[in-house]
Every structure is written in structure tokens, then in C-alpha cells.
Amino acid sequence: MPRYALFLAYEGTAFHGWQKQEVDATSVLARRADPTLIAAKPGCVALRTVQAVVEKAVRQAVRDQVTLVGASRTDSGVHARGQVASFSSEHDGRGRGWPIERGLAPLVRAINAQLPEDVLVQAARVVPDEFHPIGGATRKEYSFVFHDSRDRPLWDRHRVTQVWHPLDTTLMHQAAQYLIGEHDFVSMCAADHGRQSTVRTVYRCDVKRIAPDRIKMQIEGNGFLYNMVRIIAGTLAEVGRHRYPPEHVRSIIEARDRTKAGVTLDPSGLTLEWIEYTHPERGLFLRSDETCNTSLPIEMPRLTLRAPVESDADALAPMWQDPAVTKYIGDGSVRPIERVRESTFKRIAQLKQTGATLFTVERKDESGNPEIIGDCGVCPVNWEGPEIELGYRFKQSAWGNGYATEAARAALDYAFTTTSLDRILGLTHPENTASMQVLTKVGMTSHGLTERFYGTTLRWFSITHRQWTDMRTKEVSA
């Protein structure tokens, strides 16, 4: 059964935290119940929580009674830019479940159509069956914004925490460095933390002023205890007010006594920034602020794939006038600038019509001046269709560096993630061994020779959406 990960952002002010909550219908909290949510227990009402609202939207979108599991149980008033949640659903052929062949971008749109304005699914991804958003998380980052002014904030009052006194950010940053490393943080968590172990590792904690009345703390660790970040923020605020020196933070940790640390600050300044998942053998698998390259430009370590513009024709013209490049394309002849411009216009039009195209490929440069080295992406066969093919052309100076494989892989990911394509072809000249190697490396299957396309004999390859999904899943779980 396919398993999906959702990448969520929400403004937490109007939510009673992440986790679903039901209260007695006669209690004081019942006045804050969400009438659109149905409580499971008799005599109870459901509070408005992120999990309840998103789960309801997912069930409506996929027409399946799925269970949504979230990575971080954020408290009431806490925001998120990179929350992760997962669910499983399989299409039964009769309308229940999500047809995986429809793609992930339509799934995101279907869920968002059911959501209120203070929560958004930013992207979705197919993950292995064993993926668990809580147990699989290896790293998280939270941010906390202080408003250290006696003047009340207005426009962003729900995104900052007011402390009323000027704070010394230099001392706060110095104090934050004593948090780094593996420690028992029982002094800096709520008494009812509910964990067997209070040992956590903090990898980074930075404090800096971002505006005359704004200070931002960023803290990264392998996990955080109940109220831990808010108590750390309260403790650093005490240092910022010169209540005690930075090195006193070490004494607070060693005391293992909650009463020694600062107060638990208001949650409005707290935001879950991202969550990271790492495979024990293959390294980084998923990070919630790098959501599967579903938007342009597509950034990779060495390359950028971006939307084509008219001026690209002039940069690509020398490539199309190189016989070595055009040897296996069409009749092998070079192309004048007029044909290159015509092709560029088609690429631009196709992106507007279908959401995918032959993207312009730029090679990154340390000087900040990227070089256009080719194009890569999907387009209708012979610009007519109905079949869609993967295409890539690169300047001869860029050959031999693995750029074609890197770009083609990203182009396939983008096409299958953002469109409803079921199959993509790969067509190449029977003697073009380099191109055949690229198509094989990106997961395509060879079907031998054919004369169905372009009026000539070609070797043809293909990959379906299902094959692409299975390949990606196996890569993660291998």
C-alpha cells in the first residue's frame, strides 16, 4: 500500500496544538470546540488541532478513512514551516483511495482545496512502507523570535514573544554555546515530559538580532523534550537581562533541576523550521524544507534546471551549430539560430500549458555567474505527441561530467511529481551509446528498436510512474 509523506506549514495561533484532542462537552474548553470536527467518544467534542483538520482534509481528498501521523506534536500557538505527516492509502479501483498514477501535485492541490487558510500542504512524497515521521526523524530545527521592546507588536504579534526588557544578544549567544553537545536536559523541560530519557543532543544554537526590536534564536538537535525550546528561550532571556552570566547555563544543566532554569516563554515566537530523516547507510533521505524539487528552479549541487526564456536561444545557438552535438539528432544537420529560437518558444509555451518542458540547464559557478550548457526535460515526441519523451542536449565542453544523468534524473522526478504523466519514453540513435547509458542509469527499460517515431529507426526506452515510484522507494530502503 503506497505511503505518503506530507510537508506542512501552519500558523498555530488558532490551533490547540498538533495532536487530536477531545474534551467533555460540559467542560469550559468545550466552548472552543470545532463544530466541523466529529468526536469519536460519546459526550465529547473535538478541539481544533492541526492533526484533526489536516486528517479530515486528506480523507476528503483521497476518499479514504486514513490515519494521519505527525512528526512533532507542537503545542497550542506554535507555528511550523516544515512539519511532516504521513498516511497510507491504496486506490481500490472504485473511487476509494488515491490513484498513485495521478501524481503528487494533484494530490497536494486536492488536499489544500479542503484546508482552511492557516494551514497548507507544501508538497507530498512517496516514502517506504516502514517510514515513520516520529521514529525516523534524526534532526530538527526550531526558531524562536523575541520582541525585546516595551512597545507592543501589532502586525506580527502572533509570531513573536514579547519579553518587555532589552536583551544582550552577545551574552545570549555565548550562553547558548553551553547547550551544544549531549546532555541530560531534565532542567529544561516540563515535569510531565512523558519520556523515559531526557538526554538529547544539541548540534547548534545561535542567537542574533534581526531587527532593532527582534532577536532570533535557532536551535538544532536530534530531538526536543516537552517545552524544552521555550524553557531554553526563557533561560537565555535571563542571561540577556544580566540576571546571571552565560556560563551559569552549564550549572543549570548539571543541576538537573527544573526550578533552576528560566520560565517557559509564550509559544507565539516558536516555529518548527524543518525535520530531517537520514538512512543509516545511504545518508540524507529527506528534509522537510527541501520538498522533492516540485517547484522551479530545480537546484542541484552542480546544476540548476530553470524555466526557459527567449534569450536562451542565443546562448544555446553555438551548441546546435556543433556537428558533434547534432550527429545523432534528426538528420544530423546543424540548426540555424531561427530554428533554435522556434524551439525555445515551443519550450516556453509547453511549460505554460502542461507544467513541464525542456528546461534550460545552467552549470553553477563559484563566481556567481552560471553558464548555460544545454537543455533537459520532457516534451511531446516531435512536439506533437501523444507520447512524451525525455530529452537532453549539452554543449560538447560539458560532456563527460555526468551532467546528462544528473539533469535527466531531476527532470524525471519533476515530471512525475508535478504532472499526471503515466509513462515517459527515451528515444535515441542505435549507435549513440552515451545516450543509452544515460537512459539506463535513470531507470528506463530498453525495448529494442522501433520505427514508430521520427520516421527512422531508433532504440526506445520507457519508464512508468509506478516504476519510477518503486525505484525511488527501493533506493531509500536498500
Helix axes 248-255, 169-176, angle to 10 degrees: 40
User: Pick from 136, 123, 6: which is nearest to 59 by CA?
Assistant: 6
The string over 413-434, giving b where at least 16 C-beta atoms fall within 10 Å of a residue's C-beta and e elsewhere, is bbbbbbbebeebbbbbbeebee
SS (HEC) of the chain: CCEEEEEEEECHHHCCCCCCCEEECCCHHHHHECCCCCCCCCCEEEECCHHHHHHHHHHHHHCCCCCCEECCCCCCCCEEEEEEEEEECCCCCCCCCCCHHHCHHHHHHHHHCCCCCCEEEEEEEEECCCCCCCCCEEEEEEEEEEECCCCCCCCCCCCCEECCCCCCHHHHHHHHHHHCEEEECHHHCCCCCCCCCCEEEEEEEEEEEEECCEEEEEEEECCCCCCHHHHHHHHHHHHHCCCCCCCHHHHHHHHCCHHHCCCCCCHHHEEEEEEEEEECCCEEEEECCCCCCCCCCEECCCEEEECCCCCHHHHHHHHHCCHHHHCCCCCCCCCCHHHHHHHHHHHHHHHHHHCCCEEEEEECCCCCCCEEEEEEEEEEHHHCCCCEEEEEEECHHHCCCCHHHHHHHHHHHHHHHHCCCCEEEEEECCCCHHHHHHHHHCCCEEEEEECCCCCCCEEEEEEEHHHHHHHHHHHHHC
User: Could you tell me whether strands 445-450 and 458-464 are parallel, antiparallel, or unpaired per DSSP bridges?
Assistant: antiparallel
Instruction: Enter the C-alpha cell of residue 193.
Output: 515530559
Q: Catalytic: 118?
A: no
User: Pick from 428, 434, 388, 435: which is nearest to 412 by CA?
Assistant: 388
Q: Which residue of the set 34, 64, 75, 168 is catalytic?
A: 75
- Residues with catalytic annotation? 75
